């Protein structure tokens, strides 16, 4: 699907019996895997680091799995670098109002079609916006209505990140909840939740998001107005719930049959307590691995929806709408589309690389394979 939509690989978690048999340690020297006492080689993460022998842990006795994972993650310099880059992007975007007020001295939505900068028209007489000036005003040039692209880039980044973040929170909360409920209670609850998840899952996210997004952009939903940025956030969140809900359901189905859950039940624990204090902690590594992937995919899907006019509505900007506007000026002012595009890719890439490092560090049983 690399083709179209940010989405998880189908086939994972869909039917547990289709999973590949565990990989065996290779004997062929040209495919040598690190051998650690003849154990089975772990399944190779799709975008994981190439196999190379890891230095022996000094001593792992008495250290919890999460602290061990953190220790491994800290050694992964690439992951740490990209995490830093992501934090930098977030901070810069949060400073958008400061840049707008104190440096560029222009509001993100104020148009300036007839103005001039450095002796040139901001928007030429034929309607072409000016390119980068690399000064306080119009650092990255203007858009077709003479708005400052650098200011809109930062505000747009704020919007994109906010939508991604809100959607990720929705996915993590409800995906986990739906998975736990369906997996633990089975029966009628599962019979209701599972087909709904299957239905959402069977739609390509872009088609579903675009249809719902267009509809809600017109009418709004409840107290939320149609042009609110929370509408795309909500839509993206709901679309991706099954992508976490299904694997959590599968894990819950497996965990509920285990002895420690029986023990809890015999002790007289309530189902709620069993779900949240016995089963939930055991699915935590899956949830942690999913979080960055969901964030990256949510930001990407927002860009797709905004590009097609079904996401962020004008006059608000997001990276998706900026690319969409800029693509009309590709021959005259290519920076208009390519600078927001570069920001988008840099952000999503840094989340993905960091997420990959987290997955390597945790190496949970659940194999997560994503693709866009």
Partner 1 sequence: MARFAVRRFMSMLALLFATSVVVFGIFEIIPSYNPARAIAGRNANKTTVQEVSRKFGFDKPFYAQYANTMKLIFTGQIVDYQDQLNVVDQFKQKFPATLSLVIPAGIIWLIAAIVLGSVGALKAGKFADRALMVMAIVGVSIPVFLLAAVLLYLLAYKTSVFPNTGYVSLTSSPAQWAYHLILPWFSIALLSIGFYSRVLRGNILDMINQDFVRTARAKGLSQRDVFSRHVLRNSLMPIITLFGLDFATLLGGATLVTETVFNIPGIGQYEAAAIGNLDVPPILVGAMFTAFFVVIFGAFCDLFYALLDPRIRLSG
Question: Interaction with partner 1 in 206-235: which residues (CB under 8 A)?
Answer: 206-208, 210-212, 214-216, 218-219
Contacts to partner 1 from residues 333-372, by CB under 8 A: 334, 337-338, 341, 344-345, 348-349, 352-353, 356, 369-372
* Residue placing its CB nearer to partner 1 in the complex, 49 or 284: 49
- By CB under 8 A, tell whether 36 contacts partner 1: no
Compute the radius of gyration of the chain from its Cα atoms. Answer: 24
Distance between CA atoms of 186 and 190, rounded to whole angstroms? 5
Binder to partner 1 among 35, 36, 44, 260 (CB under 8 A)? 44
- By CB under 8 A, tell whether 3 contacts partner 1: yes
Give me the least distance between CB of 5 and partner 1, in Å please.
Answer: 4
- By CB under 8 A, tell whether 24 contacts partner 1: yes
Q: Using CB under 8 A, which of the segments 15-23, 64-72, 241-249, 257-265 binds partner 1?
A: 15-23
- By CB under 8 A, tell whether 165 contacts partner 1: no
- By CB under 8 A, tell whether 37 contacts partner 1: no
Say how many residues touch partner 1, by CB under 8 A: 76
How many Cβ atoms from other residues are within 10 Å of residue 126's Cβ? 7
* Residue placing its CB nearer to partner 1 in the complex, 131 or 275: 131
Q: Using CB under 8 A, which of the segments 24-32, 69-77, 123-131, 261-269 binds partner 1?
A: 24-32
- By CB under 8 A, tell whether 46 contacts partner 1: yes
Tokens of residue 86, six digits: 């992501």
Give me the least distance between CB of 26 and partner 1, in Å please.
Answer: 5
Identify which of 272, 255, 292, 240 has the alpha carbon closest to the alpha carbon of residue 82: 292
Within 13 Å and on the Cβ side, how many CA atoms surround 155?
A: 25
**Contacting residues for 100 by C-beta, under 8 A, at least 6 apart:** 106, 107, 108, 148, 151, 154, 155
- By CB under 8 A, tell whether 81 contacts partner 1: no
Give me the least distance between CB of 334 and partner 1, in Å please.
Answer: 5
Give me the least distance between CB of 72 and partner 1, in Å please.
Answer: 18
Give me the DSSP letters along 259-322.
HHHHHHHHTT--HHHIIIIIIHHHHHHHHHHHHHHHHHHHHHHHHHHHHTTSSSPTTS--HHHH
- By CB under 8 A, tell whether 271 contacts partner 1: no
Write the Ramachandran bin of 42: left for phi over 0, alpha for psi from -120 to 50, otherwise beta. beta
The three state secondary structure string of 210-269 is: HHHHHHHHHHCECCECCCCCHHHHHHHHHHHHHHHHHHHHHHHHHHCCCHHHHHHHHCCC
Contact 173, 164 (CB under 8 A): no
Cα–chain center distance at 360: 18
Binder to partner 1 among 323, 358, 362, 368 (CB under 8 A)? 323
Write the Ramachandran bin of 40: left for phi over 0, alpha for psi from -120 to 50, otherwise beta. beta
Give me the least distance between CB of 103 and partner 1, in Å please.
Answer: 27
Give me the least distance between CB of 315 and partner 1, in Å please.
Answer: 18
Contact 234, 221 (CB under 8 A): yes
Cα–chain center distance at 322: 19
Give me the least distance between CB of 62 and partner 1, in Å please.
Answer: 33
* Residue placing its CB nearer to partner 1 in the complex, 130 or 299: 299
Give me the least distance between CB of 369 and partner 1, in Å please.
Answer: 7
Binder to partner 1 among 161, 286, 304, 317 (CB under 8 A)? 304
């Amino acid at each position: 699907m690399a083709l179209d939509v940010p989405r998880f690989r189908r086939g994972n978690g869909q039917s547990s019996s289709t999973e590949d048999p565990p990989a065996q340690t290779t004997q062929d020297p040209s495919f040598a895997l690190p051998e650690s006492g003849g154990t089975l080689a772990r399944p190779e993460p799709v975008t994981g680091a190439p196999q190379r022998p890891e230095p022996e842990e000094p001593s792992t006795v008495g250290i919890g799995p999460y602290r061990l994972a953190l220790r491994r993650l800290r050694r992964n310099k690439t992951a740490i670098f990209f995490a830093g880059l992501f934090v930098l992007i977030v901070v810069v975007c949060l400073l958008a109002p400061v840049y707008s007020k104190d440096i560029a001295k222009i509001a993100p939505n104020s148009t300036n079609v007839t103005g001039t900068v450095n002796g040139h028209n901001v928007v030429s007489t034929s309607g072409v916006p000016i390119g980068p000036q690399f000064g306080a005003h119009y650092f990255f040039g203007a858009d077709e209505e003479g708005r400052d692209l650098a200011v809109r880039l930062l505000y747009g980044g704020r919007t994109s990140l906010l939508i991604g973040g809100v959607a990720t929170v929705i996915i993590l909360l409800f995906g986990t909840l739906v998975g736990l409920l369906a997996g633990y209670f089975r029966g009628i609850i599962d019979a209701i939740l599972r087909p709904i998840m299957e239905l959402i899952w069977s739609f390509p996210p872009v088609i579903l998001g675009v249809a719902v997004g267009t509809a809600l952009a017109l009418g709004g939903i409840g107290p939320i107005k149609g042009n609110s940025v929370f509408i795309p956030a909500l839509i993206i969140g709901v679309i991706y719930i099954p992508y976490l809900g299904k694997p959590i359901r599968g894990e819950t189905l497996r965990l509920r049959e285990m002895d420690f859950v029986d023990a809890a039940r015999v002790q007289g624990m309530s189902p709620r307590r069993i779900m949240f204090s016995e089963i939930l902690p055991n699915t935590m590594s899956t949830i942690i691995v999913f979080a960055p992937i969901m964030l990256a995919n949510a930001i990407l899907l927002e860009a797709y929806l905004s590009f097609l006019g079904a996401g962020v509505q004008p006059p608000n900007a997001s990276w998706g709408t900026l690319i969409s506007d800029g693509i009309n000026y590709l021959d005259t002012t290519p920076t208009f589309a390519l600078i927001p595009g570069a920001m988008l890719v840099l952000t999503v890439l840094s989340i993905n690389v960091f997420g990959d490092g987290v997955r390597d560090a945790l190496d949970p049983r659940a194999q997560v394979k994503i693709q866009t």
